Amino acid sequence: MDRRRFLKMGISASGAMAASAFLPLVVLAKGGNQDAEMQDLLATVGYEGHPLCREHDSCVVIDPGIFARNIATLRKDMGPDVKVCVVMKSDAYGHGVENLVAEAVKARPEYIGLVENREIRKAMEWMDKAGMRATILRIAPATFYEAAESVVKGWPVEEVVGSPPQAEMLSRLALWVGKKRGRPFSIPVHINIDTGMGRMGFERVEDIKKAMALPGIKVRGIMTHFANAYDPKRGEELTREQMKLFDAKLSKLDFDDDVIIHTANSGAALRFPWTRRSMVRVGGALYGDIPTEMNPGNRYPRVARSFRSSVVWIMHDVPPGTPVGYESVYHTPKGRPVTLATVKVGYNNGVPSWAYQKGTEMLIRGKRFPVVGKTSMNMVVVDVTAQNPKDPVRLGDEVVIFGSQGDQTITLYDLEETTDVPDCEILLSIGNDNPRVVITGK
């Protein structure tokens, strides 16, 4: 078969499939009970797609039970004298605050760490319905609107302050609210001291003292953030330097005994017990998003169990040298025809554009198959020539981008190695760009 005939066959087949696939659904849409008709249709035609993701092109599978167990494990590892801030920023690291907030609040942490008001709204919606409360620590500087909405709505939020202008802004806001309500009002804050991150902390002790003395400001905590706690070579040395600088500035401040001192993120909390102080702020570890050397025996499993899609196109006997994907940067191997399968997932879903270059693989029917060609916005092509002829890849087959299928597993670390994208960035992109399906103990 020459390439021109192959391309014509592909176009013809695509048109025929589109015509036959859409007509029945249009007819069904005119009916009354569409959900019942959909179930009847799927049962009648013998739909074989995976039930977890069948309503979506792709989905991320989340297990809140793992999150709850990880919080319990952290409590045990930190000991009874260390308070815990469960960090759920970036929409719970891409897992969805609404999917995990119940487990967080029920664990009764001293704080839940959030950043944006849209995240706080999700948390408050659940807490209002459940009749439960947890104190929220906003672990980034608030805009004026964010702080004002928090105060006006009475959310249990404590703000991080790291500069004189921000402290003055919160002071003005507190004074306005106090005057409006006819009684003194203060905003609880945590003073952030910069010791090496260079992004949102006080540097001068004089500025800290002025901020702490402003009317309407109530200091609840003093903190810093470590820049190199994950560094396997110089992490301890550089973290000790930051801690030394923090303690030097701390010694020059006058604060109440009940003020919480907190410095440790996940890396520091797990590696360096001397950083734990009054409280730890742990995010990544609670989602299983930590380097393997810091997670012996998979003590903190991943909450995101898998990322799945499905096969939507199969073409057999593709001629050697056929271009695949945008820019024709990939051509099928010389000397033999191949079988290609298109998966309905792309860079819009978090699969990097150049995933094929270093051997990214996906699981179909329990076998690993390589990605070929540049990832499109909504699709990516997989070479399934090595499929089992007795159990071939079929239209609608489940595809696992990370997770387990049969006796095979592809991890986020595997994707990190083959895409040169840090696993935490892949997780955030995938989690925030795809529907999330919640399961429990499956």
Decide if 178 contacts 185 (C-beta within 8 A): yes
Q: Which are the catalytic amino acids?
A: 89, 326
| Euclidean distance between CA atoms 331 and 323, whole angstroms | 4
| Euclidean distance between CA atoms 432 and 350, whole angstroms | 9
| Euclidean distance between CA atoms 300 and 73, whole angstroms | 8
